A and B are shown apart, each in its own frame.
Chain A
């Protein structure tokens, strides 16, 4: 029996311990805000926080998630809207919107370690997250606004 916390709630899982956290979140818990994009840790659409760190849930097995504290996009602004969520709306970042959960979770982890990121900090933190619609310049702008490094 695997025990873990998801968005603050205790959970138990007795299925295949090799199942990626992504499919547990989506298929079992119905937290569908976390997206599938590649299944190989190449695109970042499935990014969640595991003990506060940005993690690709598509390549994180349930056994590796055991005992961990997981935050998904649904949990990020549960108490009050995260500044990134507000900035995302301010910049109208989304086009199709599919990758944006992962983008925001990745950016939230960045701001925790680097509250005032430079352009190159943003580039290196965000280059694992693909946006096929090409919203990158607004993602950068929204991160800068949320961080208060740009109005």
Chain B
């Protein structure tokens, strides 16, 4: 299915569909569409042999999206899934956004995919009507045939292609979308197209892509963010068998965006020879101002900043007055470190510069960003960059930032051959766009029942905005809108403040992004308040959420991000959040599993990416303080679900991802250099450390589809620490948990 052609360059859409195919232009009208800036685009064709070629324009990093969106097209097309071939699109704005990020593929493209399929079906029905000289309304697409029930006539889709291709593309208003009762694939549990390949090692990833005559590169990058190359000595490199030459890559000009970091590359005839040559390089750097960056000092600085007032970003009621008159006050500070994405496939791409154009095969979440970044690096037009998208061996946000593709293109231009760049694991851990570290200060004034009458939450973190603006010091609208300024609790006085902080490494979005630290602080604090009030945590959370209502979110000095969606369509709905809390409590047996010494449940409920999630985690803490997680229950209301099986798999995976960052994940810097280097010192959860089983409970819903890839992550860490507190009495306010001795 996946085409990373070794020799030819015909594996991209446009030539992959056979000659004579019916290619349907599906108009997505800007004025009518929910998401603007979608251009007229091409999502499917039908070949004369009847094969439906459906374009997957979003990247496959494990969510199943390159199967699930085509299933939506196939459903409306009334296609037989066995007669469908999925083609991965190259980067091209004609497909609309291809930035596979932000848990929005279904939300943004469900309607467009249905319309694409329905358009083709209608045209095939019209073609059959013309052929049989009957009204087209009497013709119906059914499982890859058009049938005319009155006469019993039946024609395969392939037979109708020739006539259909002469017909005008119908208007959107003329389309007949299928009723839910007739869905073949939507809402069903079809396996993804790549499952079988993955059992045979046949899936083609970025690291597997080859081009004829290519060289393999290994790159020594500036060890400190912003360091500059002073000099290098490659005399010893040239003696390494297989090494062809060295080349330098210019460092980035601020802001760093997705530019290459720069450095010295060793090019060789194999991955191994390049890596061996690199070991012989002698490189001198000017470290620059970040050469003294130290994570311990930065943490102290952030923890001091959160004790000071910051920029007010949400303000409800009068917090100061409420605190002044408060009987009882509770406060706490939380800290979350830098994290690395560490996808199992490190960043990898192969690129060729030829005649002023670039062709690349890349493991990328965003081929259009590849076009832009590579074009910028090479001084060419983005249309002159052809980006083929391979499978991604995990992405988690790392592979939406194509610095590694720029490296391959820049090197190819210098050496006059295609160049493959594969980051070592050490490169990946040391030169990531890190998930931000963050400090949070929380303070609540409490009434007689221990419920807050006032709530203050200060956050300080280096912003992802520093990627695009070197002077950025405050959080971006989207970072603050991630589970922070949209706090849904029924508290009359509420203020959120953001303190300024500069980045000292590249900061980037990682699965669930700013929700990770905000959810950890908020739900940990809720857990503390419930414990202080000696109340059941489920009952306390429900009380805090208050009456069923849509909470209007009105931050100060910015609009509420809300994943760029209108609050009328995607409100902050406390009824839905309460429902997942109640569901997870029921399914986990919360009421009957009272904490015992060393074994207890914890809970957290969080809305992210427009999806409502509540998690109950069961932990065991043994007499040596070792934590295991025998069971997790997660209730999810993500609106309409297209493929429940893949939705469950995403939530199961999120529980493991959340466990990794809660229990063990930590990136630190000393003397400006990242200390960690591989899975020995940047551990991620293994089979014996991950939750043994995660039960996913999907809420049946007709609400518009929301996110599924990320929303499972945020509640995991606070649910684990909630459980550890219940089991041991130890309150953990800093991640990772392994830094706290539990006995």
Contact = CB atoms under 8 A, between A and B. Distances in A.
B678 A100 contact: no
Interface centre among A15, A38, A85, A123 (most CB of B within 10 A): A38
Contacts, number: 191
A138 interface: yes
A134 B685 contact: yes
A137 B394 contact: no
Contacts of B678: 38-40, 42
Contacts of A28: 270
Given A40-B425, A94-B195, A122-B687, A130 B344 contact: yes
B203 interface: yes
A64 interface: no
Given A19-B270, A27-B272, A37-B344, A98 B205 contact: yes
A56 interface: no
B680 A132 contact: no
A104 B191 CA distance: 19
A122 B650 CA distance: 23
A133 B656 CA distance: 8
Contact of A100 (B198, B216, B426): B198
B198 A42 contact: no
B653 A134 contact: yes
B676 to A, nearest CB: 12
Contact of A32 (B199, B201, B392, B652): B201
A38 to B, nearest CB: 4
Contacts of B183: none
B161 interface: no
B7 to A, nearest CB: 12
A20 B652 contact: no
Contacts of A88: 195, 198-199
A23 B270 contact: yes
Interface stretch (B34-42, B327-335, B688-696): B688-696
B63 interface: yes
Nearest to A16: B241
A58 B679 CA distance: 14
Contact of B62 (A23, A97, A127, A128): A97
A122 B64 CA distance: 27
Contacts of A16: 241-242, 272-273, 276
A149 to B, nearest CB: 16
B344 A43 contact: yes
Contacts of A137: 652, 690-694
Given A42-B678, A135-B652, A85 B199 contact: yes
Contacts of A99: 344, 393
B654 A134 contact: yes
Contacts of A1: none
Contacts of A128: 686
B82 to A, nearest CB: 16
B65 to A, nearest CB: 11
